[in-house]
């Protein structure tokens, strides 16, 4: 049984590893070898990785792939994707190729507003608080000028501040609800710095406000923090074509395919059990590009799923319809992304990813990421409503199974050839592999 350790963060990396492998692993030599083999041989790059987070002992690699042939607003892209799940890159690539000959993807940024809040408690007269807010609002904006100066020079900054009464939810609870434009930066640090200054001014100046009673002057700041729910930082992506142009699959007519496809989307709009898996597939594409470009996929995930529940019931992010002989498939999704700041200027692969995407602005990246999600969803629904999801997915997963059991090159080639005409399953792969090894 391990014991607590004091001063772990102050240890060198080698000492951290020594303690970890000796405390937790039965074969500390192999454990140490595994940790060390994922170090970057370039010392400068490894030091950079070591300093991204605290207590670094090694690197955890994800495959970095690309999906070519994405035509977005008549401009061709090859999209970088960092992900470990089989078939995601292949599905995105297949969707890109499918729509390349059908007009490609059309996108539009609807809005780019981000939100931050100062949460505070006030137990006095609400009319006095409203009067104070109106009195102090211009001072709040003035006091953040040193923080917002550079952002304002580029066309961004604080858009507005509202006082919101939340006392029906929690007694005495109010907010300063602040909207921001952060341009090509994701803007978390900028927003949080502004909010903390708002909170400081708001609390200190309350002591001098003549309409407050003595008790009312004591405004209690609870916290100041940006929100990852960004329903007004919104992008739309869509595809459309004549129904007869959906004619790639010889086993199903375009009319039957599009009918089943639209019904599949309709089901995800009303059935939360389906909607969660449906939207997870969208996020396969989105997260992979968000990761590859050094953005915060956890923030994106949280905001997107909140948006999917905005009407009181979790529902599909994508929509589809048939109208006047045309098929339409689209999505509007909130994405707060950045192309400057954070890892975008530090991680060498992130720099390459952004160059691969023609050095996009934040608005450009919103559109590219949304397209990756829509393409992924199209590929998944196309499989589900025709051959079924497992046929393609398990063939992509076949190599993972073979590697899991240490198959050699001959065994891999033989088994891959066999499953070109047979259904892949874990048990079937294991059985054939065992039979091969008995014969040899």
In tens, the pLDDT along 34-58 reads 999 999 999 999 999 999 999 999 9
Q: So what's the pLDDT on residue 379?
A: 95
Mean pLDDT value across residues 163-178: 98
Domains 64-108+236-387 and 114-226 share a fold: no
Instruction: Give the residue numbers marked as catalytic.
Output: 85, 280, 296, 393
Mean pLDDT value across residues 368-385: 96
Mean pLDDT value across residues 57-69: 96
Alpha-carbon 400 to chain mean position: 25
In tens, the pLDDT along 257-289 reads 999 999 999 999 999 999 999 999 999 999 999
Token pair for 390: 């497992």
Token pair for 272: 């939360």
Mean pLDDT value across residues 349-363: 97
Backbone angles phi, psi at 128, to 5 degrees: -65, -40
Q: In the chain, pLDDT over 70 holds for what percent of residues?
A: 97
In tens, the pLDDT along 69-110 reads 999 999 999 999 999 998 899 999 999 999 999 999 999 999
Mean pLDDT value across residues 304-322: 98
Q: So what's the pLDDT on residue 382?
A: 94
Q: So what's the pLDDT on residue 392?
A: 55
CATH class of domain segment(s) 64-108+236-387: alpha beta
Question: Residue 222 and residue 25: Cα distance in Å, rounded?
Answer: 43
Q: In the chain, pLDDT over 90 holds for what percent of residues?
A: 83
Give the sign of the dihedral formed by CA 130, CA 135, CA 137, CA 139.
negative
Total-model pTM: 0.88
Q: So what's the pLDDT on residue 268?
A: 98
For domain 114-226, give the CATH number: 3.30.70.420
Q: So what's the pLDDT on residue 432?
A: 84
What does the domain layout of the chain look like in residue ranges?
Answer: 8-50, 64-108+236-387, 114-226, 393-439
Question: Residue 282 and residue 376: Cα distance in Å, rounded?
Answer: 6
Task: Tell me the pLDDT band of 31, cut-offs 50, 70 and 90.
Answer: very high
In tens, the pLDDT along 144-164 reads 999 999 999 999 999 999 999
Q: SS3 for 227?
A: coil
């Amino acid at each position: 049984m391990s014991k607590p350790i004091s001063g772990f963060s102050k240890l060198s990396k080698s000492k951290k590893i020594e303690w970890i492998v000796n405390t937790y692993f039965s074969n500390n030599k192999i454990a140490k070898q595994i940790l060390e083999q994922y170090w970057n041989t370039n010392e400068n790059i490894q030091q950079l990785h070591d300093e991204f987070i605290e207590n670094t002992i090694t690197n955890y690699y994800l495959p970095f792939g690309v999906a070519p042939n994405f035509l977005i607003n008549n401009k061709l892209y090859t999209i970088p994707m960092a992900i470990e799940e089989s078939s995601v890159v292949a599905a995105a690539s297949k969707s890109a190729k499918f729509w390349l000959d059908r007009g490609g993807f059309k996108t539009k940024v609807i809005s780019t507003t981000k939100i931050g809040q100062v949460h505070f408690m006030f137990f006095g007269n609400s009319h006095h608080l409203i009067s104070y807010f109106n009195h102090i609002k211009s001072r709040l904006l003035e006091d953040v000028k040193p923080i917002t100066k550079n952002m304002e020079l580029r066309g961004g900054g604080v858009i507005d501040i509202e006082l919101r009464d939340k006392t029906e939810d929690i007694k005495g609870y109010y907010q300063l609800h602040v909207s921001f434009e952060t341009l090509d930066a994701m803007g978390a640090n900028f927003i949080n710095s502004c909010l903390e200054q708002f909170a400081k001014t708001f609390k200190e100046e309350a002591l001098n406000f003549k309409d407050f009673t003595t008790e009312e002057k004591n405004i209690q700041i609870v916290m100041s923090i940006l929100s990852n729910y960004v329903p007004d930082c919104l992008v739309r992506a869509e595809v459309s074509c004549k129904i007869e142009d959906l004619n790639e699959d010889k086993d199903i007519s375009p009319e039957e395919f599009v009918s089943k496809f639209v019904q599949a989307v309709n089901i995800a709009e009303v059935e939360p059990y389906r909607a969660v898996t449906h939207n997870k597939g969208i996020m396969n594409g989105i997260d992979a590009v968000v990761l590859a470009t050094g953005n915060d996929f956890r923030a994106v995930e949280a905001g997107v799923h909140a948006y999917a529940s905005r009407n009181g019931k979790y529902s599909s992010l994508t929509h589809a319809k048939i109208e006047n002989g045309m098929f339409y498939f689209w999505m509007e999704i909130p994405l707060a992304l950045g192309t400057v700041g954070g890892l975008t200027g530090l991680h060498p692969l992130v720099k390459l990813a952004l160059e691969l995407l023609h050095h996009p602005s934040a608005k450009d990246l919103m559109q590219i990421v949304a397209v990756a999600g829509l393409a992924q969803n199209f590929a998944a629904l196309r499989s589900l409503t025709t051959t079924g999801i497992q046929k393609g997915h398990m063939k992509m997963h076949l190599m993972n199974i073979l590697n899991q059991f240490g198959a050699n090159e001959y065994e891999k080639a033989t088994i891959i050839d066999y499953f070109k005409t047979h259904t892949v399953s874990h048990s079937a792969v294991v059985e054939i592999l065992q039979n091969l090894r008995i014969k040899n």
